[in-house]
Structure 1
Amino acid sequence: MNDHSENLQRVWHADLQAWSEQLDVDLHQPAFLEQLAHFLNQFDPEHLCPQPTDIFRAFRLTNPKTCLAILIGEDPYPRRESACGIAFYDAAIRHWQDRRRNNCMFNMLKALAIHTGQATYGTPLDQVRQIACDWPDPPTLFEDWAGQGLLLLNATLTFSAKKSPIKLQHFRFWQMWMDRFLVHCNQKLKPTFILWGQKAINRLTTALGPGMAHAQVIRQGHPTYQHQFLKPSNLHFSPFNELAQALPIRWMTRT
């Protein structure tokens, strides 16, 4: 990556410029981007997720002037073909009939089917896939959400290995930058923070500190676990019902 670090820094600068201007804070300081390039150079580029050009992709897809909500994920998928800079979206899954294993994505799909009144908690996944045959494919759906004002943000923007010490390196590198970003977002944009699972709740609480008491927050279960994201005791419950009431975002639009 050394040979391309200057080009990468230009890409990163471009992805963050509009956000820096809207928040009135320099998120793309040359010193930080140089530090980021240096940090990434210590890892095998074949194992780095996502590709360096996609690290700030979420910021590229959502206009800060129209940002309504921030959905906070944990860190990128640990596979190069899956990590794409968009929280919760597995880029290896190009259509809903894909048989790859991803509990998170397909529990989200089931929640959308319940939200549209076409399924319940007990509907088998194969039937849900059939329901989704005429729905927007995953990349279209996630990019549509981003275009409507949903920032799909991983709290840690890079990943290179599941080993705890290395994973912790990535978390520590991004922690101060991400805390600063979230604090300024809360103060300037006043978005709704969508927190799926306890880790997201803990992450935002740590970042905002006392400001958490004044933030607009929706707490829901994590989509990795169907029994947390949905409700076995309420067959027609979908987290997207609550989100649709709170935000002017179309969560499902048929093609």
Structure 2
Amino acid sequence: MTPPYRPSRARLGDWGRLPFFKDDFDRIAARLQQEPGPIFPPASQAFAALERTQPDDTRVVILGQDPYHTPGKADGLAFSIAPDFGGRLDSLGNIFKELQDDLGISHPSTALQDWADQGVLLLNTALTVPQGKANGHKGLGWATLVDQVLDRLDDAPRALILWGKPAQARARRMKHPGHLRIETAHPSPLSAYRGFLGSRPFSQVNGWLQARGARPINWGEPEAS
């Protein structure tokens, strides 16, 4: 029997002050506990993106859609894959291909925690998914949290990497004139050839950061950060 799915709010830091956690979280948590089958990512990683990258540390936002719905793949960060997964990389494989073409570097792991630790918020627009059911929690209520996160980050210029129409539509609420917006097709194998490949997002972000006198993101070897 699958144990009840109970995400913890204990490590949210400043994100825990968002109204969502007072007004909406208990209702969503109750719904999750009623799910009959497995949910991904593991409950301990449901808020990993927020826990790892606090509001004032966020320099870059990459919006995904929902977590991988295959067992052992999702780790709570958008596009990141647990290092011991061993299966197909799909979107992440194309992201790594573009990284190589753009900057001539590779990333040594499928896990992207080192990006998050440098201020890259890797946030999905739905934080959970039932096993085998893509977009299965799209209407659960996570959109309220994501909107509040984006509103919180609209106070200063940030680099917004928006792959695919859902991410682009969600981020329209961010109005600060200083944001860098990179909008292309999604890196999914179904759409990457429509404008994602060749878009050079990583060098664009680093050029923008350096022009502002900020440290660039090390998209490659974590120990070199």
Q: TM-score, normalised by structure 1?
A: 0.71
Distance of 1:90 and 1:201 partners within structure 2: 23
Number of residue-to-residue matches in the alignment = 213
Q: Any idea what the Cα deviations from partners look like across 1:26-51, whole Å, max 9, x if unmatched?
A: 4432x5332222010221242x1111
Does residue 183 (structure 1) correspond to residue 136 (structure 2)? The answer is no
Aligned-partner residue type, residue 21 of structure 2: H
Query: What's 1:128 paired with?
Result: none
- CA contact 1:195–1:201 (8 Å) conserved in 2: yes
Q: Between Structure 1 and Structure 2, which shows a larger proportion of helix residues?
A: 1
**Over aligned residues, Cα RMSD in angstroms?**
2.9
| Correspondence for 2:26 among 27, 34, 38 | 34
Distance of 1:161 and 1:193 partners within structure 2: 29
Aligned-partner residue type, residue 238 of structure 1: R
Q: Any idea what the Cα deviations from partners look like across 1:49-98, whole Å, max 9, x if unmatched?
A: 1111211011111132221011100011111311111100122x549xx5
**1:203/1:26 Cα in 2 relative to 1: closer, same or farther (>3 Å)?**
closer
Task: State the shift of 1:173 in Å.
Answer: 1.5
- CA contact 1:19–1:64 (8 Å) conserved in 2: yes
Q: Any idea what the Cα deviations from partners look like across 1:231-250, whole Å, max 9, x if unmatched?
A: 3xxxxx63322122123211
What 5-or-longer segments of structure 2 have no aligned partner? Answer: 210-215
Which shows bigger deviation, 142-151 or 191-200? 191-200
- CA contact 1:201–1:219 (8 Å) conserved in 2: yes
Distance of 1:59 and 1:65 partners within structure 2: 11
Distance of 2:79 and 2:21 partners within structure 1: 24
- The structure number with the bigger radius of gyration is 1
Query: What's 1:150 paired with?
Result: 120
2:21 match: secondary structure: coil
**1:223/1:16 Cα in 2 relative to 1: closer, same or farther (>3 Å)?**
same
Query: What's 2:100 paired with?
Result: 113
Query: What's 1:136 paired with?
Result: 108
What 5-or-longer segments of structure 1 have no aligned partner? Answer: 119-131, 232-236
Q: TM-score, normalised by structure 2?
A: 0.80
**1:56/1:243 Cα in 2 relative to 1: closer, same or farther (>3 Å)?**
same
2:67 match: secondary structure: coil
- CA contact 1:94–1:137 (8 Å) conserved in 2: no
Distance of 1:199 and 1:148 partners within structure 2: 25
Query: What's 2:213 paired with?
Result: none
Q: Any idea what the Cα deviations from partners look like across 1:135-173, whole Å, max 9, x if unmatched?
A: 53222xx11110100010001111115658x72x54341
| Correspondence for 1:202 among 151, 162, 169 | 169
Query: What's 2:41 paired with?
Result: 50
- CA contact 1:54–1:84 (8 Å) conserved in 2: yes
**1:215/1:183 Cα in 2 relative to 1: closer, same or farther (>3 Å)?**
farther
Query: What's 2:69 paired with?
Result: 78
- CA contact 1:58–1:151 (8 Å) conserved in 2: yes
- CA contact 2:186–2:196 (8 Å) conserved in 1: yes
Query: What's 1:253 paired with?
Result: 221
